[in-house]
Amino acid sequence: MSFESNVKAFALEAGFDLAGIAAVQPARHAEAYREWLRKGYHADMDWISRNVETRCDPKVWVPKAKSMIVVGVSYVTQSPDPEIWNDPMRGRIARYAWGRDYHKVIQKRLKTFADWIVQNGPPGSEAVYFNDARPMLEHDAALAAGLGFVGRNSLLIHPEWGSMLFLGGLLVNQELKPDEPTPGLGNTILTDEGRSADCGSCTRCLTSCPTHAFPAEYILDSRLCISYQTIENRKDIPEALRPKLGNWIFGCDVCQEVCPWVKKFSTPGRDPWLIPEPDRMAPRLDELADLDDDGFLNRFAGTPVMRTKRRGMLRNVAVALGNSGHPDAQAPLEKLADDKEELIASHARWALKRGPASGG
């Protein structure tokens, strides 16, 4: 077996579901990224606008890098009972957060992979890992490594794994034989205009977005995205958006759930760690409304949900209760309206004024 074949074989042993290799190169969509920033589509996520040149060219970050090994991990789990999401007194949590924080899981596997490269590669081999916590445009790296194409919702879609993938990889100081673009998806993956040739005429992801967060195909305005509003936004959720959030309290999966590629080709990972239990997928809103700081920590420690802190989560819970249209939402909302955190209390007062029993 070639070293490249051994690399991919070990990637599977290390817990990854797919792997590809590309030469280190400037990001294909660097100018589109810069334009996205100029238009303010990153909202107040300032870290996305830092290290722009580093993100656009990996050699700025790791000058010795010659090859990229890009890996993916599926976060698809066994099919949950969708009826649980129809319970108006339950909130929805995005699939990737149904368990341990993926950063810790993926970083541990990437470090193991990097150590293997150093020990088993040509003499003098070095490897630096990257994921979404480091300055790389992972989608462009994955495109270069032949791991799929970009859909109209701006997500990477693999033809056999769909788009519910965690991406990461290694920058190595050895020249490895690169992979070709994925067969059957158009030799260049994207057209010269940088647009996917593989979504056909389908626009379900765009038309199904509850907040219309796509001003154009392939472009996401974070300011309108439910994931941004429920996770990264630390302030008030704009009142015009609140009714559109439905019962999402952490993230959103709509633009993936409606995608035909995801519906047909998503495959559970080889080494899953996310658990589709009711209280992970759709916890009861009235139970969450009772959480104090210690209760929030005990319930969500070690999971991505910790990113919102209690104040962000209960703000979201108040909005979801206000959208529920259920009379049982009245009591927990009255409790939240007296919360010491004004962010929570103000959203609860909005929900009470809106009239949870009527949903409007």
Hey, which residues are catalytic here? 132
Helix (H, G, I), strand (E, B) or coil at 151: coil
d(CA 55, CA 329): 45
Q: Which residues pair with 127 in a beta bridge?
A: 172
Helix (H, G, I), strand (E, B) or coil at 36: helix
Q: Of 70, 35, 59, whose CA–CA distance to 143 is shortest?
A: 70
* Complete DSSP assignment for 163-211: S-EEEEEEEESS--PPPPPPTTS-TTSB-TTS-BSSSTT--HHHHH-TT
Helix, strand, coil % over all residues of the chain, rounded to 5 = 45, 10, 45
Q: H-type helices in the chain, by residue range? A: 3-13, 30-38, 52-56, 58-61, 102-120, 138-144, 204-208, 226-227, 254-257, 260-265, 278-281, 285-289, 293-300, 309-324, 330-336, 342-354
